[in-house]
Amino acid sequence: MAKGQVSIDFLIAITIFVIGLVLLISQVPMLFTSLQTVSTDIQPVAYRTSMILTEDGGVYGSGGEINSNWENPEGIGNYTQNRDNITDYIENVKRIGLARSAPGWSSSEGIIPNNLSVEKIKALRDWGNDSTNESKIRNKLGLFVTYNDNPLNYSYNIALKAFNESYIESTDTGSPLLEIGDQVPTSGATVEKIERIVALSDATNLANTTTIAGRECAKLVVCTWR
């Protein structure tokens, strides 16, 4: 015979085989989904949260005015009483940041990174002490997001600790200066922990701080998981 011929049965069989192989290859990544760690997702979230808290002063916006004094929007008087008397105060806080505002004479960009304002820390502590604010803190720190129409809700624990892991305390109250969020799980979840060494401005009546170069210092510890 001068011409080669291919059996129809062979063509059908090889077509089915190729289609099956393509489907199998496309399903391989899904076979290991349950074995993959979520740490690759949680680590950037924990780092971003720690960076916002230590390198950002926060944002408060009302009536077209925007500033970083979210702990005391009017900038006068007792900050606790002040914010309690402002209508829609919490809603007007767009972002939470703990960095201290730079002095008016400074030529910096408005805040001093890694130099935390004790008043802002106390304001965040007061928010955390009210359980109704938990979702608001989560939203303003970017710990509740939507990805591909699926909500991602990250749990968190934020604390200010000494280098020996004890809490920074207010000597006038005997309680931690900052320790908010959920209890960190010891099992059943992948927890990402980020520690940032920070200076504390106006650090009076505080216990367990460490003096470095004439400044009271501590660690801001951020833990996230889901």
Whether residue 148 is predicted with pLDDT greater than 80 in this model: the reply is: no
**Where residue 36 falls among pLDDT bands split at 50, 70, 90?**
very low
Mean confidence (pLDDT) of the chain = 84
pTM of the model as a whole: 0.77
Question: For residue 127, what are the CA distances in angstroms to 33, 83, 108, 133, 166?
Answer: 37, 11, 29, 6, 22
**Where residue 153 falls among pLDDT bands split at 50, 70, 90?**
confident
What percentage of the chain carries pLDDT values higher than 70? 87
- Per domain, the residue ranges of the chain are 38-225
Tens-place pLDDT, residues 166-182: 999 988 888 999 999 99
Instruction: Kindly state the average pLDDT of the residues 111-133.
Output: 91
Per the structure block, which two tokens stand in for 203? 């650090």
Whether residue 97 is predicted with pLDDT greater than 70 in this model: the reply is: yes
Say which amino acid occupies 16: I
Tens-place pLDDT, residues 39-95: 457 889 999 999 999 999 999 988 788 888 898 887 766 777 778 888 888 889 999
**Where residue 28 falls among pLDDT bands split at 50, 70, 90?**
low
Reduce the secondary structure of the chain to three states and give it as a string.
CCCCCCCHHHHHHHHHHHHHHHHHHHHHHHHCHHHCCCHHHHHHHHHHHHHHHHHCCCEEEECCEEECCCCCCCCCCCHHHHHHCCCCHHHHEEECCCEEECCCCCCCCCEEEEEEEHHHHHHHHHHHHCHHHHHHHHHHCCCEEEECCEEEECEEEEEEECCCCCECEECCCCEECCEEECCCCCCCCCCEEEEEEEEEECCCCEECCEEECCEEEEEEEEEEEC
> Do 86 and 42 touch, CB atoms closer than 8 A?
no
- Beta bridge partners, 146, equal 151
**Amino acid 33: pLDDT:** 53
> Do 95 and 59 touch, CB atoms closer than 8 A?
yes
**Amino acid 222: pLDDT:** 96
Whether residue 35 is predicted with pLDDT greater than 60 in this model: the reply is: no
Q: Between these two residues, 4 and 36, which has the higher pLDDT value?
A: 4
Tens-place pLDDT, residues 184-224: 998 888 899 999 999 998 888 899 999 998 899 999 999 99
> Do 162 and 210 touch, CB atoms closer than 8 A?
yes
